[in-house]
Structure 1
C-alpha cells in the first residue's frame, strides 16, 4: 500500500505535467514545468546516458532522476552563497546540491572549479544532465561565472540571480544565448 507521501508526490507530478507549457515569463523563463517531449514521457527523447544511467566515479547516475530532482526545486529563491533548499541557492550551490542528492556525486563548490570536472562537451552535443557554463560578468570575456544543468531541447535549469528563483531558461534565445562558454559531462 502506497504511503501518503508517495501519493502526494505522484499527484503533484501529474499536476506538473499537465500545467501549460505557455506559462512562461517575458524573459523566456518557466515558472512551471514545461511540456517538452523529455518531460512528457516520450522515451525516445529521454537520455539516460549509456542506456540506464551513466557512471561517475563508479556510481550509477540516472539522468532522469537528476533532472527531476532539479525540477523539484523550481521556484526556490536565489541566495548568494546559498547551498540549501531551506535558505536558497546560488548557481553553483544549486548544481552541487542536485548532483549530491540525486546521485551522490561530489562536485566542487564554485562554477569555475566545476568547469574542470568530467568531460568537455560541445554545445552541439549537449545531453540532459550536462553542466552548462556561462560568462555573465561585467567586462565580458569567457570567465566562467555561472552554471546550470542542461535539461534538453535547448533549455537549462539554474538559480539565476538575486531577486529570481530557480527556473528553466532557453540557451538558444534571449540573454543566455550569447553567454555560453562550455559544458561538462559527469554522467558517463
Structure 2
C-alpha cells in the first residue's frame, strides 16, 4: 500500500492552529488586526522630535534623543527598529506582531510589534560600536524567543504549567496569595521562591525559603521579580536592603537606584501626585502606584507597562488581590493609566530597568 504523504503535514498545521488560538497568548501576523491598532505610541519627547530622524536613507541610522537620554536605531525607511536608554538594560526591539489577551478578566487586547528584552550590560552612548552589543543584537533582533511580555503572560489565569528539567513548575496560573484568617483579604509578601516552592540563594549568599501555604502565589513585586529576575536573569536583592539588583517590594523598586527613573515620584507624601505627562513611557517600563493609606509613605503597587491596547488606552499587567493573580484586568474592565479610572488616578512614577 502506498504511503500517505499528506498526513504529517496536515497534523503539523492542525497543531500550529491550536497553539496560535490559545486564550492567553497568541501570535497574530494578520494585517487586518494591525490595521485596528492606533498609531504606535511615540517614544520621542514630543511631536516635533518624532520625525526628526525619520527620513528615508536606504540604510540603518542611529539617532540620539533626550528625556530620557537614549539611542534610537531606524531602518532605511526611517522607521524605528529599536530603542536603548542610557543606564538601562531594557531594550525595545521591533519584531513580528503579537496579540496579548486575557479574556477571563478583561476584553482589553494588546496587539504589538514591540519585543522587550534585557541586554547583558546597561546602555551608554556609543554602545552600538561595542562588540558585546553587536553580538547581542545579532542574536536577538528578529528572534521569537520568549521576551518579557511573553514571560509575563505565562502566569495569567489559564496559563499552562511549564516545568524545568528538575520537575519544578516555573510557569503557569499564579494566585496573588492565600486568604488571611478573616477569609476576606489575601496575604501579601509572596515572592517568586514561594511560587516555585524551592529555596533560593541570592548573589549576596542569603538563602530564603518558601512557605508551603504560599505555593504558586505571587504578589505584585513578586510577579515582577519572577518575570525580570528568575526568568530573565536580572539581578535580585534578597530584601530591600541586602544585595544588589531589583529590591523586594514595590516601594523598594520605585526608590532604588537600579535602572532609570523615567517618571519621578513627586508631590507631598503620603499620597504624592499623579504625573501630568506620561508620553515618555515605553513598553516594558515598571509602573508604580500609591493605593493604600495603611502603607504610610510607601509606594505599594507595581506593574509592567504593555503600551496601547486596541482601544487606544495605555494598559499594564500586574498581580493583585481583586483578580487573585497576574492580570491586565481591572474592576472597570482594563488596567489603564490614562483617563480617570482607578489605577490612572493612583499612578505615581515609572522606571526603566
TM-score (norm 2): 0.40
8 Å CA contact 2:219, 2:325 repeated in 1: no
Tell me which residue corresponds to 1:159: 319
Give the gaps of 5 or more residues in structure 1: 1-6
Give the gaps of 5 or more residues in structure 2: 1-13, 29-98, 123-131, 158-173, 178-187, 197-214, 236-245, 264-277, 309-313, 329-334
8 Å CA contact 1:56, 1:105 repeated in 2: no
Moved more, 88-97 or 110-119: 110-119
Tell me which residue corresponds to 2:280: 125
Question: What per-residue deviation string (whole Å, max 9, x for no partner) do you get for residues 81-111 of structure 1?
Answer: 2122642111110001100133200221111
Deviation at 1:24, TM superposition (A): 6.9
1:82 is paired with a residue of what secondary structure?
A: coil
Tell me which residue corresponds to 1:102: 231
Q: Distance in 1 between matches of 2:120 and 2:15?
A: 32
Q: Distance in 1 between matches of 2:100 and 2:223?
A: 25
Deviation at 1:8, TM superposition (A): 7.6
Tell me which residue corresponds to 2:301: 146
Tell me which residue corresponds to 2:267: none
Q: Which protein has the larger Cα radius of gyration, Structure 1 or Structure 2?
A: 2
Q: Distance in 2 between matches of 1:128 and 1:10?
A: 28
8 Å CA contact 1:148, 1:157 repeated in 2: yes
Q: Distance in 1 between matches of 2:302 and 2:155?
A: 16
Q: Distance in 1 between matches of 2:100 and 2:302?
A: 27
Query: Which residue of 232, 250, 253 maps to 1:114?
Result: 253
Structure 1 pair 94/20, CA: closer, same or farther in 2 (3 Å)? Answer: closer
**RMSD of aligned alpha carbons:** 3.6
Q: Distance in 2 between matches of 1:21 and 1:82?
A: 25
How many correspondences in the alignment?
165
Tell me which residue corresponds to 1:3: none
